[in-house]
Structure formats: C-alpha cells, structure tokens
A and B are shown apart, each in its own frame.
Chain A
Amino acid sequence: MEITLAHYLVLSGVLFAIGLIGVMRRKNLLMLFFATEILLNATNIGFAAIAHFHNDLTGQMFAFFIIAIAASEVAVGLGLLIVWYKRTGKIDLDIMTSMRG
C-alpha cells in the first residue's frame, strides 16, 4: 500500500481529534498541556505532508514556526504550572474555580 497524502491528513486529523479529546477530558494540568502539544504536532504532520505534496517549502516553514512556538508555549505553560503547584500543591484543574458567574 502506498502512503498518500490522504493518509497523512487522516493521521493528522486523528491526532488532532485525540488532542481535542485530551483537552476536554484531562483534569491534570500537565496532561492538558500535553494534549495541546498533540494538537500542534498533528498540524505539523499535516503541514509537512502538504508541503511535500505541493512541492512547496512554505508549509514546512510553517511547521518549524509551530514547533518553535510550541516550545515557547511549553516554557510559559510549565512556568505557570510550577508557580501554581507551589501555591496550591496540586495541579488538578478542578480546584481552579475561584472565579465564576
């Protein structure tokens, strides 16, 4: 079986869906961050494949940017996580409901 663009895109879509489900279901902040990384990486796969398909480097460039941004996101996110953990001792997001209404 030849692996076509469609397969990559399906993979990308499936990964994205997994990411989405993770985002919705995870209560652990760290896992939640993972899920968002999966989202971005799903996109990366898509971009890489499409760039190859179009024979155009722009997509790959986009993917690189996404990787960079994902990395900085992780940096900021983990920073927040650490502070939060220091203050509360937990990384469960159900306790984060002091503001509502």
Chain B
Amino acid sequence: MEIYLYIALFAPLAGSLFSALFGASPKTSVTGMVASGLLFVSFMSSVVLLNYVMAGHTVHVEMMTWIAAGDFYVPFGFVVDQVSVVMMMVVSVVSTIVHIYSIGYMDHDKGFNRFFSYLSAFVFSMMILVMSDNFLGLFIGWEGVGLCSWLLIGFWYHKESATWAANEAFIMNRIADLAMLVGIFMIYWNIGSLQYDVVFAEISNLSIPIVTWIGIFLFVGAMGKSAQFPLHTWLADAMEGPTPVSALIHAATMVTAGVYLVVRANPIYGLIPEVGVAIASLGAFVAMFAATMALVNRDMKRIVAYSTLSQLGYMFVAAGLGAYWVALFHLMAHAFFKALLFLGAGNVMHAMHDELDPFKMGGLKKSMKVTWILMTLASVALAGIYPLAGFFSKDLILEVAFVEQHYVLYTVLLLTAGLTAFYSFRLVALIFHGNERHLKYGIHPHEAYTFMLYAMAPLAVLAVIAGMVFKTPYYEMVTQLLPAIEYHVHNHTTFWIMTIGTQLFVIAAIAFAYKKYAKAVRVDVKVESGFFYQLLYNQYYIPKIYDEVFTKPYRELSKVAWKQIDLKIVDATVDGIANVIYRTGEKTHTMQNGNLSSMLRWMVVGLVVLLVLAIAFTVGYNAVTMRAM
C-alpha cells in the first residue's frame, strides 16, 4: 500500500515539475494533459487507499528524517487513515476535475504551463497537509498551499489588484500561521513530540489550561486558512485569481484546511469543550456574517466566496460542537457543489469576457444551457434541498446544534440557511433569467468547451448523490477514528417539523429570490442608499478599517522608523560621536599656532599646573597626616 501512498502524494509534484520545465516556453497543451493525467493517477491511488482503509486498515510510513536537533525529531511521515483518506479523495477528485477544466479555461492564457505547474504544486502541498502524520508536516503543507495560493491569486501579475490580493492573502495567513507555530511549540515543549499518535495519546496528561492554550493557538492558525473573522477579508479579494483556482483552492480544499485541522486535532478539542463552543459560536457568527455580505454583493465570484465563508462557518459549528464527522462530511459535500458552482461561474465569466457583475448579465440560460443546469443544481445542493448533498450535510449541522441544545446557534444557522438559498438563487436568477442585459455591452455569450462541461459532470453527480449514497459508509469509516456520536432528534414530531420547516423556509427564500430577480431588475434606490445596504455592500467597512488601522499606520510607522529613528537617531548618534571627536580636533589643533612664544608658554603652563597640583596635594596630604597624628 505504501507505494500507492507515495504515488498519491508525489504524482502531483511530478506534474508540477514537469509543467515547470515548460514554464518559460509558449503554451503547450502537453503540460495540461500530463498534469491532469498525473492527478488522475493520484486520484486512482487514493481510491485504492480508500478501499484499503474501508477495509479497516491504515497506512503509516516514515519516509525520512526531516529535522532532528537535540531531542527534537520530526520525520517526513505520512499516514492514510479514515480522516486523511476522505480529504485525499476530496482533494484528488476536485483537483483532477479542475485540472481538466483548466485546460479549456486557460486555453488562451500565455501562462498556461506556469498555471499547471502552480496548480499541481498546490495539490501536492494539500496532499502533504492532509497526509502528514505530525503537526510540522501539516505545517509544511499549510505554508505550501499558502505559497501556491499566493502564486495563483497573483497569477495575472500585471494586475495591481491581483498582486495586492495575493500579498494580502499571504500576509494574513502568516499572522495565523504564527499562532499555529506557537501552538506547535507548546505541544513540543509539553509533550516532546509532534507526531499525532504520540500527542493525542499524551494530551490528556496535560493540565487543562495548557491544553486550552494549545487549542486556542491551533484554532487561530485554522482561522487564517479558513478565513474566519477577523481574518476573512483576504478570501473575497482572492477572487482575483483565475476561476479554477477559486474553485479548487478557495472553495473546495485549502480553505477547509482549518476545519481539517480541528477535526484532526479532535483529541485536543475533545478535552476543552469551552473552546469548542467558542469555535462554534464564531463559526455561526461567520456563517451569518458572510451570508449577509453575499446578499447585496455585485460580484459573481465574491458572492460565491462569501458563500464559501458562510459554509466554513457551518463546518466550524459542527467541529466546535464535537461533531467532527459531521464537519468533515459537510466539508466533503461542500467541496463538490461549491467547486461546481465556481466552475459554472467560470464558464459564465468566459462567456461574458470576464465580466463579473451579474447585473450586467441575464437570460444566459438560452445560450448556456448546460452551465445553467449545473449551476442551478449546485445552488440547490448548496441551499440544502432534499435529496441533494447539502441537505444531508448542512441540515445535519442544524440538527447537531439542536441536539447539543445550542438553540441560539441553531437559530442563527437556520436563518443563514435561508439567506444562503436567497443569495444563491439571486445569483442564478440574475445570470440565467430575465433580460439579456449584456447585449448592450456587445457581448455575445457562448457555451464553454464540451470537455469542460464533461469535466464538470462528475462534480454534478457528486453534488447530487454525495449525501444519499456516501453518508452511511462514510459514517462507518470515519467513526473508527472520530468520536462516533449520532445526532438524532429523538422526538419524531420535532424531527419532522424541523426538517420540513427548514425545507419550506429555504424554498420560500428561493422563490423570493426568483421573484425579485428573475424577471426584470428594479433598482430600489431607497434601499440601496440605506445604511444597512451600504454596510453590507461595503463588507461592514472592514477592509477599509483594516486599511486605516493596520496598513496605513504600519506604512507610516515604517517610514518613521527608517527616516526618523534609524537615520536621525541611531545613525546620527554614531556619526555624532565621530563628528564631535573630529570637531574637537579641528577646534583645538589651533593651539599649535606655530608661534614659538606660545609653545614655550604651553610648556611653562604645564610646569605651573604640575607645581600647583604638587603644592595642593602636599597641603592636602599634610593636613590629612596631621589629623592622623
């Protein structure tokens, strides 16, 4: 089995390196093919491993030593167990599809080869992240995906906004990474190892405050990758990257790494339920918070990004409440339909010549029928309508909150479910229904390449069946590792009321969205100039606040540090000392005026000074000795 593990892990790297060879050459579709092919290989190996794990085995290899100094020892170790195999499947499926899709999407781009190199490198990093058997290995992947995310967001580096967003994403993630590092330090100094098995076996021996701190620091790390408030702003800006990137990195895989971390570290969080509740609360808050921003946004990709953010919130609710398997399940389901949604959005963008404002689109269902169906399907799944994937995973989280008696969280999540349905279908309605508003911009949309649509098909299938078909085998598999808690509302009446009520609420929200946006779009000036609309539209002014509170002061402070402190104080002191010495020389060397008389006088002065001192000393000395007598 080890060989499959290595294939699953290194096939993407091989693809990346292969593409990198052609990095500076003109586009060759070979790179896309090879990279996609290798990913498929990785996917197949993951399937083999999945089978193996389903049979109740795990694979654990230690490839080689990485860092060893003193007592510190961290190897490159990889583990394929019930949790990581799920992640591997998600990553390899989505990334294979996105790769194939990208062959079409990036067809006309100069940086085609480079793109595949980065994309495969990302998959490799992600694989390391999920497969590592220790925290530091996870950190490699963690930073690796950060790097690839930076490269891919800033892929169109000639665009100022893209590079800015790339840097923002990287730096913001770095802030969280610091917390994660501190968490790792704490684990090491308290346990003496970073291997998952050792740590999880020993963690219960530590005092609760320490575990709490470890949990908090690790979670702060997770917050950065998963773009939780207040480190969320980068995700929306990251939409500057090519759309396949958004689908793969900023929807399906990388952003869920935080959830994965919490799930993976469940023995730690299991000891500190208070922190769990805090995580859940933050998750619920973010779910709502992001959904509200999505309501009014006018950028197709940003809407989907906020939706992702909101769904990540759901996952954290589940993870925080101890329903790790639920969180992981939603992670998986979400990956499928959200990737689908993004890829659909990519088709639309292509058709619309990179126009992103849905208000400038409309009626696209005529020319882009397949895309319309796929995106509607994805939106339905996202909204959580039975029997699609979202229903099984998302409603389960509502049930978890309910069962765990966190009714506030439950209410928030329920409301958010409505909001989700609304903004999803607002988007669908605006793009595919109504007038063809784009015609006046002279855009004549066309459907994407057929193979791209075929590539998306598996995702559509997964979005439909993932819930129904996978739930039971998934549950059986992962609960071998994760706490097996079934979340059932025991009272049947309540259960049915809840389920049907939620469904109805969601359908009502969809209907409202269609009603409002499917026909003609009326701009309600009064609403749009209102405070709340503006608040939401400006993302609660948070980016602006960050700019004012952090970015600008940092820049100013840096200038001060350089121009005022470094040059005018620190350096000037050094030069000042030197100058004082030199000036003293310049001032006093005139004592040597060359006149013999004054030279003689200096000598006599010297003598007189000596004599005076001698006499003064003698007088003092005598006085002292007299007194001594």
Residues on A facing B (Cβ under 8 Å): 20, 23-27, 32, 93-94, 96-101
From B256-264, B345-353, B562-570, B588-596, the one touching the partner chain is B588-596
Whole-angstrom distance between the Cβ of A18 and the nearest chain B Cβ: 13
**Closest residue of B by beta carbon distance from A27:** B597
Chain B 594-608 interface mask (CB, 8 Å, partner A; 1/0): 111100110010000
The 8 closest A-B pairs by CB, nearest first: A100-B594, A97-B594, A93-B596, A24-B601, A23-B600, A97-B595, A99-B594, A100-B593
Tell me if B593 and A93 are in contact (CB < 8 A): no
**Alpha-carbon distance A97/B599, docked complex (angstroms):** 11
Tell me if B600 and A96 are in contact (CB < 8 A): no
Residue picked from B593, B597, B601, most chain A C-beta under 10 Å: B597
Contact pick for B590, options A24, A96, A101, CB 8 Å: A101
Tell me if B604 and A94 are in contact (CB < 8 A): no
Whole-angstrom distance between the Cβ of A83 and the nearest chain B Cβ: 16
Residue picked from B590, B593, B594, most chain A C-beta under 10 Å: B594
* B590 surroundings in chain A (CB, below 8 A): 100-101
Known contacts A20-B604, A23-B604, A24-B601; is-contact A98 B596 (Cβ 8 Å) = no
**Alpha-carbon distance A30/B595, docked complex (angstroms):** 16
Contact pick for A93, options B589, B592, B595, CB 8 Å: B595
Whole-angstrom distance between the Cβ of A93 and the nearest chain B Cβ: 5
Tell me if A97 and B593 are in contact (CB < 8 A): yes
* A26 surroundings in chain B (CB, below 8 A): 597
Give the interface residue-count category, chain B.
10 to 19
Residues on B facing A (Cβ under 8 Å): 589-590, 592-597, 600-601, 604
Whole-angstrom distance between the Cβ of B12 and the nearest chain A Cβ: 76
22 inter-chain pairs at a CB distance below 8 angstroms, sorted by A residue, are A23-B600, A23-B604, A24-B597, A24-B604, A25-B597, A26-B597, A32-B596, A93-B595, A93-B597, A94-B595, A94-B597, A96-B594, A96-B596, A97-B593, A97-B594, A99-B594, A100-B590, A100-B592, A100-B593, A101-B589, A101-B592, A101-B594
Whole-angstrom distance between the Cβ of B586 and the nearest chain A Cβ: 10
* B604 surroundings in chain A (CB, below 8 A): 20, 23-24
**Closest residue of B by beta carbon distance from A25:** B597
**Alpha-carbon distance A101/B589, docked complex (angstroms):** 6
Whole-angstrom distance between the Cβ of A9 and the nearest chain B Cβ: 15
* B600 surroundings in chain A (CB, below 8 A): 23-24
Whole-angstrom distance between the Cβ of A53 and the nearest chain B Cβ: 22
* B596 surroundings in chain A (CB, below 8 A): 32, 93, 96
Whole-angstrom distance between the Cβ of B600 and the nearest chain A Cβ: 5
Tell me if A96 and B601 are in contact (CB < 8 A): no
**Closest residue of A by beta carbon distance from B608:** A20
**Alpha-carbon distance A94/B600, docked complex (angstroms):** 13
Whole-angstrom distance between the Cβ of B15 and the nearest chain A Cβ: 76
* B594 surroundings in chain A (CB, below 8 A): 96-101
Known contacts A20-B604, A24-B600, A24-B601; is-contact A96 B595 (Cβ 8 Å) = yes
Whole-angstrom distance between the Cβ of B20 and the nearest chain A Cβ: 68
**Closest residue of B by beta carbon distance from A97:** B594
Other than the given A32-B596, A101-B589, 17 more pairs (CB < 8 A) read: A27-B597, A93-B595, A93-B597, A94-B595, A94-B597, A96-B594, A96-B595, A97-B593, A97-B595, A98-B594, A99-B594, A100-B590, A100-B593, A100-B594, A101-B590, A101-B592, A101-B594
* B589 surroundings in chain A (CB, below 8 A): 101
**Alpha-carbon distance A27/B596, docked complex (angstroms):** 9
**Alpha-carbon distance A25/B600, docked complex (angstroms):** 9
**Alpha-carbon distance A65/B596, docked complex (angstroms):** 27
* A23 surroundings in chain B (CB, below 8 A): 600, 604
**Alpha-carbon distance A93/B592, docked complex (angstroms):** 15
Whole-angstrom distance between the Cβ of A26 and the nearest chain B Cβ: 8
**Alpha-carbon distance A70/B349, docked complex (angstroms):** 111
**Alpha-carbon distance A25/B597, docked complex (angstroms):** 7
Whole-angstrom distance between the Cβ of A25 and the nearest chain B Cβ: 8
**Alpha-carbon distance A29/B595, docked complex (angstroms):** 12
**Alpha-carbon distance A98/B594, docked complex (angstroms):** 7
Whole-angstrom distance between the Cβ of B186 and the nearest chain A Cβ: 67
**Closest residue of A by beta carbon distance from B595:** A97
**Alpha-carbon distance A99/B594, docked complex (angstroms):** 5
Whole-angstrom distance between the Cβ of A91 and the nearest chain B Cβ: 12
* B601 surroundings in chain A (CB, below 8 A): 24
Whole-angstrom distance between the Cβ of B49 and the nearest chain A Cβ: 87
**Alpha-carbon distance A78/B595, docked complex (angstroms):** 20
**Closest residue of B by beta carbon distance from A96:** B596
* A93 surroundings in chain B (CB, below 8 A): 595-597
**Alpha-carbon distance A99/B590, docked complex (angstroms):** 11
